[in-house]
Structure 1
Amino acid sequence: MSLEKSEIGSPVIDPVDTPATDTAVAGPAPVKRRARRLPEAVNRYLVRATALIVAILIWHWASTSGFNLFINFENVPGPLVVWNALMQEIVSKTFYVHILYSLQRIGIAYLIAVVLGVALGVLMGRWRLAEDIIAPYIELLRPIPAVAWIPLAILMMPSEESSIIFITFLGALFPIVINTVHGVEQTPKVLVRAARSLGASNAAILRHVVLPGALPSIVAGLAIGMGVAWFSLLAGEIISGQYGIGYFTWSAYTLIEYPKIIIGMLMIGGLGTLCTLMIKMACRPLLRWQAQGKNA
């Protein structure tokens, strides 16, 4: 460090050689650590699980306190009572027979509804003449509830089993047809004209342009149809069934076994949710192009 004499004789420190004491003392600025966050999918499932837990707690409070304000919970069994009854049913072979019968009926009826519903929807969406012929039947029969079909189904079908499958089939058919028609009609006309100008045939346009564009709507129809199919199955099993979750629920009501009623309701909801989830997972590879388009 160089020192120079000032006019009064005191040493003057060269500013160039002055050490940066402030910087040396302070040091580098501390790095703020970000709080770790759970993945978005985990957060969403946590929120859903919390919502279910809150509903169960409210149910427990209402049943134990005898809540009676427009909705009467005095005779509704609580979650613990239903859980104990469920543990008794799980070890019973008959309980699984009811589930297998319902799943078998849903599988047969839903498969027929998917094949016929998508085919009719594509015909109605692509050809005006087919729409004019089929649409009146769809619009006339669609508002009829499943319960109203039961007497006629019993008269027309050779057995009670086939009548239940027929009612379940009708419940799944109409949502699939309507959503397929909507998806096919929403296909951009410019894509169809572009494919036709490149020499594509009608079959190629249907396979490579129309169906991929209509798939999101078709998948939505498949999911809705599954939910309505379970609703229709319940109505059929209550009236004319001997086995099935619907019959299990109705027989519990006639025998005044209230916990079994809630078990049947929860089983229908759980099985319906599981079937819908399986449909969405099975259709996910077909909709891979949607995720690629969002990420592009």
Structure 2
Amino acid sequence: MSWAVRALSLLACLGLWQLLTATGTELWLRFDNLPTVVEVGERLAEQVGTAEFHRDLAQSLLRILTGFAIAAVLGVALGVVIARSRLLGDVLRPPLEVVRPIPAIALVPIAILLFPTNEQGIVFITFVAAFFPVLVSTRHAVRALPTIWEDAVRTMGGSRWQVLARVVLPGTLPGVFGGLSVGMGVAWICVISAEMISGQFGVGYRTWQAYTVVDYPGVVVGMVTIGALGYLTSAGVELLGRRATRWLPREAAA
């Protein structure tokens, strides 16, 4: 039933879009300048049949998955280290906290100077965008763990590594996957922006190219493609998170 409601909601939005644009409605916002749903659908059908469209999809997915994977590994590892070690926390937190408020997209000039190719620079921007949400959520999740869990394992003779493997990592999974979900969304925003600025291939680059030649249906096709890719990858992260935390009472109840 929920899927039917979601489908009807999407169809209603598309119907309203078609109505407003086809009739050239001007209610402060000028819908007469936007392409209709039919025009966008026709443009999408044209692009789907080209090798260029599939190459852009593959390029954007490769960039996002590479940067996100590196961010996930380093973000979780450093989040646990900073939360568990006061010394390393004192050493690592100041430089990280100074860099964290800087928008990842603002680092594009630095990436251009640092990396020999635009491809590496875009992956770096994607990594930075996803890294900090994962790091912060992991750090807070580790600190929120009840100390009685660790005390119980140590009372039974568990070592530090056993505490880490049996208590810390499983106990932080809900918080970690929350950060991963947020990080994926932020990473898509930044990778598309980076592609528009310095990319040669990718969905963001192609969307900007469509805008420069006044191909507005092509612009909307790019936007819809970005939304679909972002939804699918975020849904994949959330599905993996639900599978990894099936032991939670709320998951069992659901």
What is the TM-score of this pair, normalised by structure 1? 0.82
Aligned to 1:145: 103
Q: In structure 1, give the amino acid aligned to 2:101.
A: P
The yes-or-no answer on 1:134 pairing with 2:92 is: yes
Residue of 44, 58, 80 corresponding to 1:122: 80
Q: In structure 2, give the amino acid aligned to 1:215.
A: L
- The one of the two structures with greater contact order (alpha-carbon pairs below 8 A, sep at least 6) is 2
The yes-or-no answer on 1:106 pairing with 2:77 is: no
Distance 1:171 1:194, change over 3 A: same
Q: In structure 2, give the amino acid aligned to 1:196.
A: R
Distance 1:292 1:148, change over 3 A: closer
Matches within 5 A, 1:17-32: none
Aligned to 2:20: 62
Distance 1:62 1:127, change over 3 A: same
Distance 2:242 2:173 in 1: 10
8 Å CA contact retained: 2:17, 2:36: yes
The yes-or-no answer on 1:73 pairing with 2:17 is: no
Residue of 165, 181, 186 corresponding to 1:207: 165
8 Å CA contact retained: 1:146, 1:235: no
Aligned to 1:158: 116
Distance 1:54 1:248, change over 3 A: same
Aligned to 1:244: 202
Bigger fraction of residues in helix? 2
Distance 1:51 1:78 in 2: 18
Q: In structure 2, give the amino acid aligned to 1:112.
A: I
| Runs of 4+ with deviation above 3 angstroms | 291-296
Larger Rg computed on CA atoms: 1
Q: SS of the residue aligned with 1:289?
A: coil
How much is the aligned-residue C-alpha RMSD, in angstroms? 1.6
Residue 294 of structure 1 deviates from its aligned partner by 4.4
Distance 2:91 2:218 in 1: 46
Sequence identity percentage: 41
The yes-or-no answer on 1:219 pairing with 2:177 is: yes
Distance 1:293 1:70 in 2: 46
8 Å CA contact retained: 1:82, 1:259: yes
Distance 2:196 2:86 in 1: 40
Q: SS of the residue aligned with 1:152?
A: helix
* Cα distance per residue 1:84-137 (max 9 Å; x no partner): 001111111111111111111112111111111110111112112222222222
Residue 68 of structure 1 deviates from its aligned partner by 2.7
Distance 1:142 1:79 in 2: 40
